[in-house]
C-alpha cells in the first residue's frame, strides 16, 4: 500500500494507542536490541538538528509522540531551554515521567530543564500557534492516521523560521540489502519482540507500517506541501532510517 491510497497509518489511532500501551514495559529494550543501540546516536543527532544554532538554554522544543521520553530527555540534556513531550498513550507518558523523576534525583540532571509531559493527540496539539522554536518527532509520524494533517498541526505550533525534525524508519527498496533487512524485520523482529513484550502483533505491525510509509523524497514533498521549506534528509542505519529537517516558511 502506498501513501497515495493510504495517507496515514495502517491502523486506527485507538488501535495504535492501545498497542503502545501494551508494549510500554519492554519498549526501550526492544529499541536497543533492534537497532544495536544506534537509536541513541540517532536521537542525539536529532537534538543537534533541532537546536543547533540556538544559544544554549534558549530553544523551546516540542517532542511529539514522545513515547518513553528518550528524545525529550536528550533535548533537555542537549541544551534546550524548555522541552515539552506529548503523547496520547498514558502508559508511555507515565514511563517518560518516571525516567525524568529518576533523573531529577541525580545531581547532574538538575542543571537541565525537566520536560513537561502532556497527554494529547498529535493532530490536536493543545498549544497556541508559533509556540515553539522547533518540533521533533521520532518514530511517531508513521503511526499517525493522517500524515498531512499531522505535519500541518506540527507546523502550526512551530514559529516561522523554526524547524521540524523527523526521525523515522523509511522503506528500503534496494533488492539485496532490502531483502535481507526485510527478512530480519518481518521474521526476527516479531519473534524477539513477541517473546520480550508478549505482543507479537505489535512487532508484526512495525514492518507493515514501514512498508506503507512514504519514501524519504515523498515525505519531504509532504512537508513542503504542509508549509515547510528546505525539507532535506539524511539516511542513517544503512538506509533504514531517514532524518528529515524542514524549516517552517515565513510567508
Binding site for ligand SAM (CB under 6 A): 13, 16-17, 20, 31, 65-67, 70-71, 87-89, 92, 121-123, 138-140, 143-144
- Nearer to ligand SAM by Cβ, of 17 and 112: the residue is 17
End-to-end CA distance of the chain: 34
- Nearer to ligand SAM by Cβ, of 29 and 56: the residue is 29
Torsions phi, psi of 85, nearest 5?
Answer: -110, 125
- Nearer to ligand SAM by Cβ, of 140 and 214: the residue is 140
In the complex, the smallest distance separating the C-beta of residue 171 from ligand SAM, rounded to whole angstroms, is: 16
Residue with cell 495502517: 10
With CB atoms as reference, the residue minimizing the distance to ligand SAM is 67
Query: What letters, b where the CB count within 10 A reaches 16 and e where it falls short, cover 186-198?
Result: beebbeebeebbe
In the complex, the smallest distance separating the C-beta of residue 216 from ligand SAM, rounded to whole angstroms, is: 18
Using CA atoms, how far apart are residues 70 and 233, in angstroms rounded to an integer? Answer: 21
- Nearer to ligand SAM by Cβ, of 22 and 249: the residue is 22
In the complex, the smallest distance separating the C-beta of residue 163 from ligand SAM, rounded to whole angstroms, is: 17
Using CA atoms, how far apart are residues 241 and 28, in angstroms rounded to an integer? Answer: 17
In the complex, the smallest distance separating the C-beta of residue 45 from ligand SAM, rounded to whole angstroms, is: 12
In the complex, the smallest distance separating the C-beta of residue 177 from ligand SAM, rounded to whole angstroms, is: 23
- Nearer to ligand SAM by Cβ, of 161 and 234: the residue is 234
Is residue 137 a contact partner of residue 154, using CB atoms and an 8 Å limit?
yes
**Which stretches within the chain are classed as H helix?**
13-35, 38-51, 70-77, 90-105, 147-157, 175-183, 189-197, 200-211, 216-225
Grid coordinates representing 11 are: 491502523
Amino acid at each position: 500500500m502506498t501513501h497515495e491510497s493510504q495517507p496515514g497509518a495502517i491502523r486506527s489511532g485507538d488501535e495504535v494507542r492501545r498497542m503502545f500501551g501494551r508494549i510500554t514495559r519492554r519498549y526501550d529494550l526492544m529499541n536497543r536490541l533492534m537497532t544495536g543501540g544506534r537509536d541513541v546516536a540517532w536521537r542525539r543527532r536529532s537534538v543537534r538538528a533541532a537546536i543547533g544554532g540556538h544559544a544554549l538554554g534558549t530553544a523551546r522544543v516540542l517532542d511529539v509522540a514522545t513515547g518513553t521520553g528518550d528524545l525529550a530527555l536528550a533535548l533537555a540534556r542537549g541544551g534546550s531551554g524548555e522541552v515539552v513531550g506529548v503523547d496520547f498513550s498514558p502508559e508511555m507518558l507515565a514511563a517518560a515521567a518516571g525516567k525524568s523523576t529518576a533523573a531529577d534525583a541525580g545531581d547532574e540532571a538538575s542543571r537541565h530543564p525537566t520536560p513537561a509531559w502532556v497527554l494529547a493527540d498529535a493532530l490536536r496539539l493543545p498549544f497556541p500557534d508559533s509556540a515553539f522554536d522547533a518540533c521533533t518527532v521520532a518514530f511517531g509520524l508513521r503511526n499517525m492516521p493522517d500524515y498531512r494533517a499531522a505535519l500541518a498541526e506540527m507546523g502550526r505550533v512551530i514559529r516561522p523560521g523554526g524547524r521540524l525534525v523527523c526521525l523515522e524508519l523509511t522503506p528500503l527498496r534496494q533488492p539485496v540489502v532490502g531483502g535481507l533487512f526485510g527478512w530480519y524485520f518481518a521474521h526476527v523482529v516479531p519473534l524477539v519482540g513477541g517473546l520480550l513484550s508478549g505482543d507479537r502483533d505489535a512487532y508484526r505491525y512495525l514492518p507493515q507500517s514501514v512498508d506503507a510509509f512514504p519514501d524519504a523524497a515523498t515525505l519531504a514533498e509532504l512537508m513542503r506541501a504542509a508549509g515547510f521549506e528546505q525539507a532535506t534528509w539524511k539516511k542513517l542505519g544503512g538506509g533504514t532510517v531517514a532524518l528529515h529537517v524542514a524549516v517552517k516558511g515565513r510567508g
